[in-house]
Amino acid sequence: MKVIVSRSGGLAGLRVTWDVQVDEQPDAAAWVQFLQELPWDEAEDTTPAPDRFVYRIRCAPHEVVLAEPQVHGAWRDLIDRVRAASER
């Protein structure tokens, strides 16, 4: 299972992508449980604000697009975890 987080927008409009292969993580079971508990179906579509980031999070069969103000709680935790695992 792969999780891909892309961040685009901001002042420079650059896209940055982080990804993690969950099965290769030492705590894979914790990752799977965390991913299953995310509110995938509750994420609301919003119009991105100028000069703000937009996050696209993909983990088949799920995909959400979140404007920067929506990135809090479990979504912020997921983005931080994927980014940290990707940079190892």
Whole-angstrom Cα distance, residue 48 to residue 78?
A: 20
Amino acid identity for residue 31 in this structure: W
Is 87 a residue whose pLDDT tops 80?
yes
pTM listed for this prediction: 0.89
For residue range 40-85, list pLDDT tens digits in order.
Answer: 988 777 776 777 889 999 999 999 999 998 999 999 999 999 999 9
For residue range 20-45, list pLDDT tens digits in order.
Answer: 999 999 999 999 999 999 999 887 77
pLDDT band at 14 (very low <50, low <70, confident <90, very high): confident
User: Cβ distance 36 to 22 under 8 Å?
Assistant: no
Any idea where the domains of the chain sit in the sequence? 2-68+81-86
Q: What is the DSSP string of 32-88?
A: HHHHHHS-GGGPPP-PPPTT-EEEEEEETTEEEEEEGGG--THHHHHHHHHHHHHT-
Whole-angstrom Cα distance, residue 65 to residue 48?
A: 10
